[in-house]
Amino acid sequence: MVARPRRPLISLEAQLQQLTLFSDLDADAENLEQLGPIIKSLDEARQQDAFLRHLKTFVREKDREIEAVCDANHTEFVDAVDKLLKVRTGTVTLKHRIGELNEDVQAGGSSLGGKKRQLLETQRTAANVGEAIAALQVCLRVLDMANRADGLIADKKYYAALRSLQELENVHLRGLLHHEFARHMLDGIPQMRGQVKAAVTREMKEWLFEVREKSRTVGQLALETMENRQKRWRVKTQRDPLLRLAKVNSAIELVVNERAEHNFVDNDRVSIDFRPLYQCIHIYDALDLREELQSSYHEDRRAQANLLLTQGLTFDAANSTFPPLLEEMVGFFLVEHHVLQTTPSGFRSEAEVDDLWDTMCSRVCDIVSLALRECRDTKVYISAKAAIQVFIQTLEGYSFPVAKLNSLLLTLFERYAQLLRDRFSRDFQQAMRETQHQPMIVSNADELSKVLSVAWLKPGDEGLLRNSQFPLSLPFSQTYPLCCMDIRNLVDQYYHFSDGFAFTREIDEILSKSLDSLLIQQVSNGIRQSLSSTEVNLPQIAQIVVNAEHFNLACVQIEALLERMRAGEGRGGGVRLDASRHFVATLRIAEDKINGAFAGKLDQFLGLAEYDFAPPTMRATAPTAAGSPWLQDTLEWLHTMMESVLVLLPAQVREKVYTAAYAHLTSCLVDKHLLSPDTTAVNAGGLQVLNADIGYLATNAEKDGVEAGVFAPTKQLLEVVLREKVGEYVQGLQTGRGREEWAKLDGRRLVGLLERLGRGARGGEEAARRQRERETLVRALQGGLRRM
């Protein structure tokens, strides 16, 4: 069994002294907290009963001490009691007095409480009134801000009105949403913003109408400025040819002209205030509605642009609507350019403006082409070109693309060129119909000067004509100077119309085609038509040849003129006319016509020729210088015709006619007489007679300037036989050596001649020799053909 632990013993006396000590230290308070440790220690020591017994013993001792003290002080105690009773009596009296006072105080307190309650009620009322006043003041401030916003809208201070509405919505109304009017005002703020939006939109619409009304003045001022620039530049280019290479709007022109910047939208004549637009952009940005404004503005401007082109377009000189249309368009796009440059980034894009510009250009090109489709007045085209060119140069300076408008100018130029071709075609046709193919006669120096001022002549001809006597017969017909004058006018009008064009190559091509068309279709073909007439005679043909030569000369001079004009414009290069080749071909036709006429007459003379190519006896005498009588008559007629009827022919043409005539005589003597089917036999005597006539022809031909080569084929044919060189010729054919001496000899003619010589031989041996020569020649010719 485990022994229980022994509890410690405590001193009861010590515990009692401690309890007494605590009681002395704080006699008025119950020392329950101090009793706790004492009771705990007594409980742990299980000495509760012993402590109580000891406590009772301590109390009895203290009572005895008190009684002892009281017995010693009894008298003082009785006195004290008496005093205490007196005090008690006074206390009761005082108590009654206090009760009375208490009743009085209670009565006064009740009144005071009522007044206090009234005061509290009054204070609560005052507090409520103060709160109401504060709420009313806040409400009044809100209402004042709302009224101020209305006033700002009325005063057109739209951005300030939006700021007020924003402050009202985000700050002042947030604490008043428990009030009905605040909620109503909050719901009405979007409507007030809508009023601001409607107000700025209305002002912008009014501004757009104002811009439309003033655009024409803006465009008119810009076009006038460009015209003045063109005039100044034209004067400067005339003074300094080097500046002709530069055009208006080029870098050189801008530097030399010292271009001053013009504000066409704000000046003394017209002023456009862009503030309504800027304000509208600012307000829409504040409302975060930029895209809506952009779309609206773009549609409005497109509608205005379309409205410009819905008006009827006329080019009547008395009431033309084309210049006002261009002025409106220039003003429209100058405003667009200003908007593009001055509005915030992203409001108006270059792509939108370029698209609108491209659409407008396309429609302008269409309506101009349609309006001028039936127009035949060149003055209208000139005025339209001038207006469009100024329009192009004006807007080109603001970087607007003008390719379509340049194409329109080229189209107008093509139509203008066609009108000029038609007009000059009629003039040329009239001149060609009225011509009599006779030389032009001038009576005095004035008439000659007029002709020489327009007609192109060979070098030196002008001096000879001026030194001649009057009346003077000119080498060409009246048609030539008339056509030269028309050509000069045509060229001048072409280049006057194309002045300032950028596409010079196309202009030159159109001009060259027009000149070719006129010169070929009207002049050259007209000459050919005259040549084809059966009524034309040799003098007229001669005059036609002279005219054709002069027209051919005119083609060369026109090419030189165009080259000089191109060089003056800084373009360089030349222009080649197909008409020159056509006139050369026409000259050949005319020469062939003369040659044909001569050939017909020469055939008549040839019909009179009588030759005996196989005389019975050989002539021992050498050929004489004089030809046959018929041949003498023929050459006399030929010279007479050339010196009288064809005296106007140029020298080179005379040589060609002589050459053709002599060649015709020579070939006909061989082909139609010597080698004629009627000539069956030939001997050396007959060949000597023919050789004599050929020599006579050659002698006269040399005097007439005909080359000896014309007679080479015939001479070589006769000489190879008369000189017995047939074998040498055949050997040359077979070996290919020594052929230069007989280069012009026709082997087929020689075969026919050898055949006839064989028939005309006087003995069998000569006939056999000629037959062998012929057979050898045929084989040689066939071998030569195979080698070829």
As a three-state string, the secondary structure of 373-432 is CCCCCHHHHHHHHHHHHHHHHHHHCCCCCCHHHHHHHHHHHHHHHHHHHHHHHHHHHHHH
Of all residues in the chain, the percent with pLDDT exceeding 70 is 82
Q: Region 215-241: what's the mean pLDDT? A: 75
DSSP string over 423-469: HHHHHHHHHHHH--S---EE-SHHHHHHHHHH----TTHHHHHHTS-
DSSP for residue 657: H
- On average, the pLDDT of the chain sits at 78
DSSP for residue 6: P
State how far the Cα of 447 lies from the Cα of 548, in Å rounded to an integer: 22
234: Cα within 13 Å, side-chain hemisphere: 9
For residue 383, what pLDDT is reported?
85
State how far the Cα of 405 lies from the Cα of 411, in Å rounded to an integer: 10
Q: Tell which residue, 411, 402, 403, 357, has the closest CA to residue 384.
A: 411
What residue has token string 């031989």?
761
State how far the Cα of 767 lies from the Cα of 771, in Å rounded to an integer: 6
Lowest-confidence segment of 28-42, 219-233, 435-449, 723-737 by average pLDDT: 28-42
Which residues are within 8 A (CB) of 271 and not within 5 positions of it... i.e. 6 or more apart?
265
503 pLDDT exceeds 70?
no
Q: Tell which residue, 585, 687, 290, 567, has the closest CA to residue 695.
A: 687
Q: Region 526-550: what's the mean pLDDT? A: 79
For residue 787, what pLDDT is reported?
42
Residue 175's pLDDT band (cuts 50, 70, 90): low
CB 535 within 8 A of CB 209: no
Residue 541's pLDDT band (cuts 50, 70, 90): confident
Retrieve residue 727's tokens.
């074998």
Q: Region 760-774: what's the mean pLDDT? A: 66
User: Does 475 sit behind a cis peptide bond, omega within 30 degrees of 0 on the bond before it?
Assistant: no
State how far the Cα of 633 lies from the Cα of 648, in Å rounded to an integer: 23
State how far the Cα of 718 lies from the Cα of 313, in Å rounded to an integer: 84
State the virtual CA torsion across 589, 591, 597, 598 in degrees, nearest 10: -150
For residue 583, what pLDDT is reported?
83
CB 449 within 8 A of CB 436: no
For residue 555, what pLDDT is reported?
85
Query: What Å distances lie between residue 355 and 82, 277, 394, 473, CA to CA?
Result: 129, 21, 19, 67
Q: Region 313-336: what's the mean pLDDT? A: 82
For residue 785, what pLDDT is reported?
38
DSSP for residue 9: P
The most confident of 45-59, 145-159, 340-354, by mean pLDDT: 340-354
SS3 content of the chain, % helix, strand, coil (to 5): 75, 0, 25
Retrieve residue 713's tokens.
């084929």
Q: Region 366-370: what's the mean pLDDT? A: 85
State how far the Cα of 481 lies from the Cα of 461, in Å rounded to an integer: 15
DSSP for residue 723: T
For residue 259, what pLDDT is reported?
56
Lowest-confidence segment of 31-45, 287-301, 321-335 by average pLDDT: 31-45
State how far the Cα of 395 lies from the Cα of 401, in Å rounded to an integer: 8
The end-to-end CA distance of the chain, in Å, is: 164
CB 407 within 8 A of CB 365: yes
State how far the Cα of 195 lies from the Cα of 206, in Å rounded to an integer: 16
For residue 2, what pLDDT is reported?
43
- How distant is the alpha carbon of residue 429 from its chain centre? 41
Each as own residue / partner, the long-range contacts of residues 584-592 (CB below 8 Å, 24 or more positions apart, any chain) are 584/552, 586/524, 586/527, 586/528, 586/531, 586/548, 587/545, 587/548, 587/549, 587/552, 587/653, 589/528, 589/531, 590/527, 590/531, 590/541, 590/544, 590/545, 590/548, 591/545, 591/653, 591/656, 591/657, 591/660
Q: pLDDT digit string (tens) for 444-454?
A: 888 888 888 88
Q: pLDDT digit string (tens) for 722-751?
A: 877 777 777 777 776 655 667 777 778 877
- How distant is the alpha carbon of residue 3 from its chain centre? 127
State how far the Cα of 722 lies from the Cα of 687, in Å rounded to an integer: 8
DSSP string over 76-96: HHHHHHHHHHHHHHHHHHHHH
For residue 502, what pLDDT is reported?
58
For residue 788, what pLDDT is reported?
34
135 pLDDT exceeds 80?
no
CB 551 within 8 A of CB 583: yes
Retrieve residue 97's tokens.
């007095």
For residue 246, what pLDDT is reported?
52
Task: Report pTM.
Answer: 0.63
Q: Tell which residue, 711, 706, 745, has the closest CA to residue 726.
A: 745
State how far the Cα of 258 lies from the Cα of 260, in Å rounded to an integer: 6
Q: Tell which residue, 234, 236, 152, has the closest CA to residue 195.
A: 152
Kindly report the backbone phi and psi dihedral angles of residue 577, in degrees, each rounded to the nearest multiple of 5, phi listed first: -100, 130
Return the H-helix or E-strand segment holding 258: none
For residue 3, what pLDDT is reported?
45
Return the H-helix or E-strand segment holding 473: strand 472-473
Q: Region 199-204: what's the mean pLDDT? A: 88
Which residues are within 8 A (CB) of 151 and not within 5 positions of it... i.e. 6 or more apart?
none
SS (H, E, C) 165-233: HHHHHHHHCHHHCCCHHHHHHHHHHHHHHHHHHHHHHHHHHHHHHHHHHHHHHHHHHHHHHHHHHHHHH
For residue 765, what pLDDT is reported?
67
DSSP string over 491-511: HHHHHHHTTT-S-HHHHHHHH
